[in-house]
Amino acid sequence: MEILRWLNEQLLRMQWLSDLVAWLLGKAGMDTSSRLGGSVHFFIYDTIKIFLLLAVLIFVVSWIQSHFPPERTRRILGGMRGVKANTVGALLGTVTPFCSCSSIPLFIGFTSAGLPLGVTFSFLISSPLVDLASMILLASIFNWTVAIAYVVVGIVLAVAGGTLIGALRMEGQIESFVTRAPAVGVEPQAMSRRERAAYARDQVFEIVRRVWLYVLIGVGIGAAIHNWIPQDVITTLLGQDKWWAVPVAVLAGVPVYADIFGTLPIAEALVAKGVGLGTVLAFMMAVTALSLPSLIMLKRVVKARLLATFFAIVVAGIVVIGLLFNATASFFT
């Protein structure tokens, strides 16, 4: 157990990196116990840690993802129906780490191929919300119990949301151009190890290029919260005892467009200031699953009633999840 704890501290939390940054800043004459020094330490340490973990995790996840191109994913889902199909759709979303906007073209492709509407929505909810990289990054900031619980409730939300949308039989709410779009069947080509490594490497560069600014902004906000905003101010607004904290966090997350990687430093700082775990996880879920740009894109392929139904189901599910995490917070510490 001690070995596992040490590995978690050194490999995921990278305590060695925190100590190194503190030592270097001390050599430069900066007091890391001061507000400014603490902010600089938080920014440098979290930025390096997140990008190091991102590079490794995205490479591994992309290697796995190379076995599940869209055509193969569509074929796997094509022969399934019911809750089983929704569950597999949600699970496949966890190995296709797309942001919410990137998931829309796949949603169109799956729908045009005749996959059940509920299954495509399970995939659409799961893909940006839950992936292997986010689970490990959550473990690096919180702990494995939180990370695994986040993944489980994310998959449950995707399955339940897709199942409910499927039961409402809203196929008529899909724009006609989507259902008329030809489903081109392309035989997935086998990739060699070298090709998979090249694909995974390219994905690392592509995803880092796409998220680096959000990571820096998120770390900057986290550093400000951690060292400059008084704890009593934050707990007064978003304390765990405030019933409105979770709904406010969800609504605040919708206009934000960022990957989970950019929201993690903010979540870390908020929890340190006394904000409920469920509140910050609800914020992260809203940012990743309900970003305003993705809703605007989705509006182009579905009609208003289906869009409103999707939004209401996901918001309600995230609020319930946030409240449950807050109510059971002692279990995760």
Decide if 208 contacts 55 (C-beta within 8 A): yes
> What is the tens place of the pLDDT at every residue in 260-274?
677 888 888 888 888
Mean of all residue pLDDT scores within the chain: 78
**Would residue 157 count as lying in a domain?**
yes
pTM: 0.73
Classify residue 97: in a domain, yes or no.
yes
Render pLDDT for 184-216 as a digit per residue (tens, 0 to 9): 444 555 677 788 888 888 878 877 787 788 778
- Count other C-beta atoms under 10 Å from residue 266's C-beta: 25
Range of the domain at 114: 2-17+34-176+192-332
- Which residues, in sequence order, are CB contacts of 36 under 8 Å at separation 6+? 30, 227
- Is position 181 within any domain? no
Q: What is the DSSP letter of 275?
A: B
Average pLDDT over residues 112-122: 76
Neighbour-count burial of 284, counting CB atoms closer than 10 A to its CB (0-12 exposed, 13-18 middle, 19+ buried): buried
**CA 333, 257, 49: angle at the middle one, nearest 5?**
50
Task: Please give the share of the chain, as a percent, with pLDDT higher than 90.
Answer: 8
Low-confidence winner among 173-177, 184-188, 257-261, 309-313 (lowest mean pLDDT): 184-188
pLDDT recorded at residue 186: 47
Q: Is residue 39 assigned to a domain?
A: yes
| pLDDT of 231 | 67
- Tell me how many domains the chain contains: 1
With respect to residue 307, please indicate whether it lies within any of the assigned structural domains: yes
- What was the pLDDT predicted at 156? 92
- Tokens 């869209």 belong to 70
Q: Specify the pLDDT at position 296.
A: 74
**Collapsed DSSP state (helix, strand, coil) of residue 174:** strand
| E strands, the chain, in order | none
- Model pLDDT, residue 319: 92
- The label of the residue with tokens 């796997």 reads 76
Q: Rounded distance, CA 223 to CA 43, Å? A: 6
**Residues recorded for the chain:** 333
Q: How far apart are CA 74 and CA 267, in angstroms?
A: 35
Residue type for position 313: I
pLDDT-wise least confident of 102-106, 117-121, 279-283, 311-315: 102-106
Percent with pLDDT over 70 in the chain? 75
At 316, the pLDDT band (50, 70, 90 cuts) reads: very high
pLDDT at 228: 77
Give the C-alpha separation, 25 to 39, whole Å.
Answer: 11
**Structural domain contains residue 55:** yes
Distance separating alpha carbons of residues 222 and 103, to the nearest angstrom: 28
Q: How far apart are CA 107 and CA 113, in angstroms?
A: 10
In a domain, 186, yes or no: no
In a domain, 93, yes or no: yes
